[in-house]
Amino acid sequence: MILAQREYKLQDVIAFAKTDGKFGGLSNMAPGYNLFVNEINIQSSEILYQACRFPLFPHIQEELIRTQNPMDSKSVSRKYATLTRQDWDIVRFRIMRWCLEVKLIQNFPKFSELLLSTGDKPIVEYSTKDSLWGAIPQSKEILVGVNALGRLLMELRAKIQTGALIQASVIYPLDIPAFLLFNNKISEVHNDDYFIHDLDEIYAY
Ligand SMILES: Nc1nc(O)c(N)c(N[C@@H]2O[C@H](COP(=O)(O)O)[C@@H](O)[C@H]2O)n1
């Protein structure tokens, strides 16, 4: 991803800041978009993304997933920040794209409808402090930031619009070192995957 800042006119964009409201589901923090990866139930794309920071530390992944709360998972991540995978800055945008694709195919009717309802407008995560994943106000009318999340969401929207990603899709694991969940390689994700194991079961295997 190109990390160039962009400027957006607030009146021309679909901006989301919180998980409520018409476009709140675009946030990684939004409830109601459960994910299933390696048969593990993960409460939100934010928690999945944070779990991917710590592939060599299953106990951290467990703590993250057990929070069942994206903001709490960010606090857990901060606590263990020094254990973040060393190539995180290189791989994290690919990982976020993958998380969003998983969110889409496993919540296709709701999430695709939401994405398509944004039309062709720029999608922007409105933030007061994060100009990497979102864009921050420079004045009452102008937002400035890399808006990486908004750009990935627009990319996803385009894949739906062109039919490149449809409900029956499979999302393949990323070809990066140590793409692991609980010491297992992350496998293909399907739209009809479903929760089998709770966290107390996983260590029994
Ligand atoms: N609500 C909220 N608080 C923050 O402090 C944030 N940085 C964000 N942005 C979202 O956080 C995710 C990125 O996390 P990292 O900063 O890479 O750990 C991503 O989902 C952003 O949309 N939101």
pLDDT tens track for 18-68: 999 999 999 999 999 999 999 999 999 999 999 999 999 999 999 999 999
- Convert the pLDDT of each residue in 127-147 to its tens digit: 999 999 999 999 999 999 999
205 C-alpha to ligand 1 centroid (Å): 33
Residue nearest ligand 1's atom 13 by CA: 133
Instruction: Kindly report the CATH number that applies to the domain delimited by 6-202.
Output: 1.10.357.40
What is this model's ipTM? Answer: 0.90
Amino acid present at 87: D
Please, which residues bridge with residue 16 across strands? 125
* Residues 6+ away with beta carbon under 8 Å from 74: 46, 50
Ligand 1, CB within 6 Å, residue ranges: 28-29, 46, 77, 125, 130, 133, 149
For 155, other C-beta atoms within 10 Å of its C-beta total 14
Q: List the chain domain ranges.
A: 6-202
